[in-house]
A and B are shown apart, each in its own frame.
Chain A
């Protein structure tokens, strides 16, 4: 019964995908929306039941072997699922937030002609994401990993008539491939080292290695390359801001709440491997911290509402990797969960704003939306406070847990984390004030068109706002008299990794001081943003305006895209040009044309023998017979 339920988890969205994908054209919009939302709801209900059973302790771990997937030589990979506290938390996030976003999409995408196709892709995405978090071995995880990449591609390029969107989709797909190569190599190395891909055997095998073994470090680093690609860290982060070409619910679901956190999940899942490799942990923390600050600085000056949120996502993912890198596995997953709530809310709120503005995404043309979009305004405010780390909203608890561990582990990482959180608070409230306060800066038509979104869109916003406000209490630290429910719940998964790391404990007093520092400077950043954008009514410079050098550098995203274009894309294009004009045209085409012309030339000689003279035919036949006879005699 339980096993059936687990198997049904990914099958429901698959069914939704098949129905909407194959017969969607015939469905009315309401039917298509129901076909899209109900399977996700069903999966959510199952996830909730599993979660409750785990919580009550009725079950600890379930593994479900569906069938033998790969069987070759010594390699045997069953298609099996694993339910444990970690995957259960991920299931709740994916299906829960996923369901809310599906409902929202039913309103947001209502006027799109490819409505059913949208839901088909979204369901396919949920299916692959469930495979990713449910997999009981690296192969099934990889299957989901690739699948979500595919769905991301399909949904970024959802409006495929626009070339720029298609290019963004291709960029995302190709950059993910680079990371996936790392994941794949890591998988090969895991198989080579442990002789198996299943989590249980790998982690038990890893227990026999001592800390710092080169194989383990190599595996951890290769897997991290995969995570870099999927979770948009330096140096492979540039696809994520471009991925905002997709519809806004897609940005919320795939490029904020779920898919991009897959890398974090993967590292949390492999926590023992990382715990055994201090070097890899160091790299993870360094990349995470660098990304957290780097992306946040770019977010400071962007003027596209979704671009700001995209860089914010990259930055917050950096925090999660910092958590992984300093050994705060629970903290990372905690931040993943709270981030899923408030970032999905921010994106959906942005979607609501864009909806009201008739497709306008430039915050310089917004302003004063507070009275027109009250629900969006309040929910967006809650999310902005949550992400800025102001207590008692969700982001505060998760971010401060990470910063606490970072402080205990490495002061420099902590400093970068604090810097990132100042920047986060500033760009978030810059976005917030420019959008909602002051006077409206758009056109007259836009002003007359302004309206609050329909119920179907605002209800998910309100639910997510409640989660963003209260979600932090699942990880209430001991210093506030909490028990940190999430840490206890996840402890079976992280026990071994944490035990090997033997993390230093912070005293409660120190913890409080750190929290006070973080909150104080975040509040200062918010007040500064208020000063600049509310009191002084500042508006970012227009597209034509001359910017100071540093500002222009950041506004142009440090010219990283241009740099990649110069050092990677252009040389690759030139190289493929050479291959095309030489290898393809000369060698390959040459061979093909040569074989064709050889046949043609030979036959033009031989056809002269077929002149219709019967005598010659008979003669040839006799000669042939004699030759055959001679051959037989000789042999």
Chain B
């Protein structure tokens, strides 16, 4: 390629930032929908990294993985949102701390 290529470290940093934001969101937010979005954010940070390394190594395997992850994430979102809707119908809230009855 040519000289205008963005160095892979940029992708790395961006990806780490996105992932950390996602982790922080999961850890500290209480709204289930936000947590859900943060999980998506983490997944996409990983996707970004996969795509970047795929280009760097000239191996399309990484991009194939990205597609798989997207497909699985879409399915997961569908199930997860369905669960969220059921929770909301039951407790009229999406605050996860209300759902602390899942214990013995």
Chain A residues in the interface with B (C-beta under 8 A): 610-615, 618-619, 622
Contacts and interface: CB of A to CB of B under 8 A. Distances in A.
B103 to A, nearest CB: 4
Interface stretch (B51-59, B78-86, B94-102): B94-102
A619 B99 CA distance: 16
A612 B23 CA distance: 20
B23 A614 contact: no
Contact of B100 (A614, A618, A619): A614
Q: Which 7 A-B pairs have the closest CB atoms?
A: A612-B103, A612-B100, A619-B27, A614-B96, A613-B100, A618-B26, A622-B23
A624 to B, nearest CB: 13
A612 B27 contact: no
Interface in B21-41: 23, 26-27, 30
Main SS of the interface on chain A? Answer: helix
Given A622-B23, A622-B27, A615 B96 contact: yes
A403 B27 CA distance: 103
Contacts of B26: 618, 622
Contacts of B30: 615
A612 B27 CA distance: 15
Interface of B: 23, 26-27, 30, 96-97, 99-103
Contact of B97 (A615, A618, A622): A615
A615 B102 CA distance: 13
Given A618-B27, A622-B23, A622-B27, A612 B96 contact: no
13 contacts: A611-B100, A611-B103, A612-B100, A612-B101, A612-B102, A612-B103, A613-B97, A614-B100, A614-B102, A615-B30, A615-B96, A615-B97, A622-B27
B83 to A, nearest CB: 13
Nearest to B30: A615
Contact of B99 (A610, A614, A618, A622): A614
Contacts of B100: 611-614
Nearest to A619: B27
Contacts of A612: 100-103
A613 B27 CA distance: 12
Contacts of B96: 614-615
A617 to B, nearest CB: 10
Contacts of A613: 97, 100
Contacts of A615: 27, 30, 96-97
A619 B27 CA distance: 6
B43 to A, nearest CB: 16
Contacts of B102: 612, 614
Contacts of A611: 100, 103
A622 B27 CA distance: 9
Contacts of B99: 614
A456 B23 CA distance: 96
A139 to B, nearest CB: 60
A612 B96 CA distance: 11
A135 B97 CA distance: 81
A610 B103 contact: yes
A551 B19 CA distance: 104
A345 B1 CA distance: 115
B56 to A, nearest CB: 22
A238 B95 CA distance: 86
A82 B20 CA distance: 85
A84 B64 CA distance: 87
A619 B29 CA distance: 12
Nearest to B103: A612
B12 to A, nearest CB: 15
A619 B30 CA distance: 13
A619 B23 CA distance: 9
Nearest to B99: A614
Contacts of A614: 96-97, 99-100, 102
Residue in A611, A613, A615, A619 whose Cβ sees the most chain B Cβ within 10 Å: A615
Nearest to A625: B23
A618 B102 CA distance: 14
Contacts of B97: 613-615
Residue in B30, B100, B101 whose Cβ sees the most chain A Cβ within 10 Å: B100
A615 B29 CA distance: 9
A470 to B, nearest CB: 88
Contacts of A619: 27
A613 B30 CA distance: 11
A290 B103 CA distance: 82
A622 B23 CA distance: 8
A170 B77 CA distance: 77
A615 to B, nearest CB: 7
Nearest to B32: A614
A59 to B, nearest CB: 80
Given A614-B102, A622-B26, 15 more contacts: A611-B100, A611-B103, A612-B100, A612-B101, A612-B103, A613-B97, A613-B100, A614-B96, A614-B97, A614-B99, A614-B100, A615-B96, A615-B97, A618-B26, A622-B27
A613 B96 CA distance: 9
Contacts of A610: 103
Nearest to B101: A612
A610 B97 CA distance: 14
B15 to A, nearest CB: 15
A627 to B, nearest CB: 14
Contacts of B101: 612
A16 to B, nearest CB: 62
Nearest to A613: B100
A618 B27 CA distance: 7
Nearest to B96: A614
Nearest to A612: B103
